[in-house]
């Protein structure tokens, strides 16, 4: 199924509303990572080159709906767009009841989450947003799993809708890695809690040839195997589920590999005194904060054999250099592999940036929750909208 894209439409002199995901991290009002802004530039430039009057919508953070909060203003994003595009960019604060835009102009509409009803997918708000333009472009893959007014509702009522280049590239990359992947498929799922990723882990156990778990998630599996995890983060309530998943993997002729050695400390700090211990020798006061060198070597063997790699989450507390070596070795193994590698999630992208391997990953998804949900469902409700009869190519 092919979706109508921005490149397929006549945009000359039309008001084009582009829903991007420009939810970038900020510290003291300064953007600390511009990846999502950079990813939107292709779409914005394409629309302008086709003679459109372009209005960009996005959310930023999670402000109280219905109220303006300068902390969550898109002003820093507008400033970054001005610098990168080298053109004037105007921020419009009060836009929901209509706004003026000149031929060939680029404007940014203030944070959609300042509008009451955005997250509830208000029908009234959806209709208002849709009425403001001639074409509505869905390019915000990272929010595509949410039925919000600006990501779903407005698409139902817009005069003409299409998918943006970023959205299409995300879907195409995910389908390549998930729909008919070249085998063997190896998935690495890390993070702090199994409960937040139980659905994806359950799906992947039956879907991939080899599942690797890391971080606090791995600690829960270690505990489920009857081993001591000391004072490490794990979820006692999920032990039964972990045992079931290990049995499911075994039943299909695979395993969820347990660490053979781990890096431990008594506290989580940058100057912690670390030790490498056999998994059998973890003591009650220990915190497991990374995989050990033998475990890294074992897991890299699985990665080296893969033809498709799905990566979501670190295998240790990589933000601290003393606990980063395991994630670094896994990251470099993925980077050095000839496999098609698909990575997504905020922590994963942070690790990719830290270890400077972005150019060696086949595709880095801008989505976190969207990335995980697509892995589970292979679609989103918004894709079903974009695939309706009036939009589908014949």
Q: At CA 33, angle to CA 27 and CA 39, rounded to 5?
A: 140
Judged on CB neighbours under 10 Å (0-12, 13-18, 19+), 263 is buried
Report the DSSP pairing between strands 106-109 and 53-57: parallel
Query: Rounded distance, CA 296 to CA 315, Å?
Result: 9
91-114 b/e with 16+ CB inside 10 Å = b?
Answer: bbeebbeeeebeeebbbbbbbbbb
Structure tokens at 374: 């697509």
Q: Which residues are catalytic?
A: 36, 193, 346, 369
Q: Work out the number of other CB atoms within 10 angstroms of the CB of residue 308.
A: 23
Query: Rounded distance, CA 330 to CA 296, Å?
Result: 7
Name the 3-class secondary structure at 265. Answer: strand
Question: Distance between alpha carbon 17 and the CA centroid of its chain, in Å?
Answer: 23
Residues in the chain: 394
Angle between helices 369-377 and 198-207 (to 10 degrees): 40
């Amino acid at each position: 199924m092919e979706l109508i894209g921005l490149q397929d439409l006549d945009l000359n002199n039309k008001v084009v509303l582009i829903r991007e995901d420009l939810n970038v991290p900020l510290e003291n009002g300064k953007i600390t990572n511009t990846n999502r802004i950079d990813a939107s530039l292709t779409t914005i430039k394409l629309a302008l080159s086709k003679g459109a009057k372009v209005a960009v919508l996005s959310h930023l953070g999670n402000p109280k709906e219905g109220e303006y909060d300068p902390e969550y203003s898109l002003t820093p994003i507008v400033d970054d767009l001005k610098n990168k595009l080298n053109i004037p960019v105007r921020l419009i604060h009060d836009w929901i009841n209509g706004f003026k835009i000149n031929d060939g102009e680029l404007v940014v509409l203030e944070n959609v989450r300042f509008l009451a009803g955005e997250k509830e997918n208000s029908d009234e708000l959806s209709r208002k947003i849709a009425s403001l333009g001639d074409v509505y472009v869905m390019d915000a893959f990272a929010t595509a799993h949410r039925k919000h007014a600006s990501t779903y509702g407005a698409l139902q009522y817009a005069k003409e809708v299409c998918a943006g280049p970023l959205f299409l590239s995300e879907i195409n990359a995910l389908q390549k890695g998930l729909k008919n992947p070249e085998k063997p498929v190896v998935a690495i799922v890390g993070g702090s809690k199994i409960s937040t990723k139980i659905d994806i882990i359950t799906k992947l156990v039956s879907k991939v040839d080899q599942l690797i778990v890391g971080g606090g998630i791995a600690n829960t599996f270690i505990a489920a195997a009857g081993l001591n995890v000391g004072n490490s983060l794990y979820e006692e309530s999920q032990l039964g589920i972990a045992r079931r998943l290990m049995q499911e993997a075994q039943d299909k002729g695979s395993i969820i590999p347990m660490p053979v050695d781990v890096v431990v400390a008594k506290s989580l700090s940058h100057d912690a005194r670390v030790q490498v211990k056999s998994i059998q020798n973890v003591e009650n006061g220990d915190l497991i904060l990374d995989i050990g060198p033998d475990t890294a070597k074992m897991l890299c063997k699985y990665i080296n054999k893969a033809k498709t790699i799905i990566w979501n989450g670190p295998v240790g507390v990589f933000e601290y250099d003393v606990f980063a070596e395991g994630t670094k070795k896994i990251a470099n193994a993925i980077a050095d592999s000839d496999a098609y590698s698909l990575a997504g999630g905020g922590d994963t992208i942070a690790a990719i940036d830290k270890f400077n391997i972005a150019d060696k990953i086949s595709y880095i998804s801008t989505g976190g929750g969207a990335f995980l949900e697509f892995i589970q469902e292979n679609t989103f409700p918004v894709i079903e909208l974009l695939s309706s009869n009036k939009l589908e190519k014949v």
